[in-house]
């Protein structure tokens, strides 16, 4: 799924302003100006479109985790935030789950609100480590439906 689209959908779901988005990036140690936010949430066909990298989306999701859960205390020698080189849909879903402190029943509720059926084994398979027996690759549709459920939930 296009990272700009994910940022745009999350912004709408949580009703974040440019200032809020910039602040979330700052929580993760990434300084991005408010004036740059519209460029990273534009659609590909829009003028001034700037493709968002895995690193930038990862930093936003890490900032969202810090915003919602607080900063993880670590020794000085170990960085608190790890930036993934490649951000898969599975990792995006996992980071959203962590940020929102969602349990399994919360995940099912978001999918239900988006009118999407997912079974317990299917959901569990999305959060397994790659290479494990029952690991399942998370498709774009699953991420879209989850964010749609978040939108319905938060914008009631």
Mean pLDDT of 18-32: 95
Q: Do the domain assignments include residue 83? A: no
| Domain residue limits at 136 | 89-154
17 and 54 both lie in a single domain: yes
97 and 45 both lie in a single domain: no
Chosen domain end from 39, 69, 99: 69
Q: What is the DSSP string of 6-67?
A: HHHHHHHHHT--HHHHHHHHHHTT----GGGHHHHTS-TTSTT--PPPHHHHHHHHHHHHHH
CB 90 within 8 A of CB 137: yes
Name every residue whose Cβ is closer than 8 Å to that of residue 17 and which is 6 or more positions away in sequence.
none
Q: Do the domain assignments include residue 75? A: no
Chosen domain end from 41, 69, 97: 69
126-153 confidence digits (pLDDT tens): 999 999 999 999 999 999 999 999 999 9
Q: pTM of the entire structure? A: 0.89
Q: Is residue 39's pLDDT more than 70? A: yes
Helix (H) or strand (E) holding 110: helix 104-113
Q: Do the domain assignments include residue 105? A: yes
Q: Do the domain assignments include residue 110? A: yes
49-95 confidence digits (pLDDT tens): 889 999 999 999 999 999 999 887 766 544 545 555 689 999 999 99
Domain count, the chain: 2
40 and 98 both lie in a single domain: no
Mean pLDDT for all residues in the chain: 91
């Amino acid at each position: 799924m296009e990272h700009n689209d994910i940022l745009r959908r999350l912004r709408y779901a949580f009703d974040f302003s440019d200032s809020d988005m910039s602040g979330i990036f700052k929580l993760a140690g990434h300084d991005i100006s408010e004036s740059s936010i519209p460029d990273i949430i534009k659609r590909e066909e829009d003028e001034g479109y700037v493709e968002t990298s895995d690193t930038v989306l990862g930093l936003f999701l890490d900032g969202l985790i810090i915003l919602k859960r607080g900063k993880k205390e670590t020794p000085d020698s170990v960085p608190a935030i790890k930036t993934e080189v490649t951000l898969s849909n599975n990792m995006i879903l996992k980071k959203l789950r962590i940020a929102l402190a969602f349990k399994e029943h919360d995940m099912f509720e978001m999918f239900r609100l988006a009118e999407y059926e997912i079974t317990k084994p299917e959901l569990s398979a999305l959060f397994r480590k790659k290479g494990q027996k029952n690991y399942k690759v998370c498709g774009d549709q699953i991420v879209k439906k989850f964010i749609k459920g978040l939108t319905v939930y938060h914008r009631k």
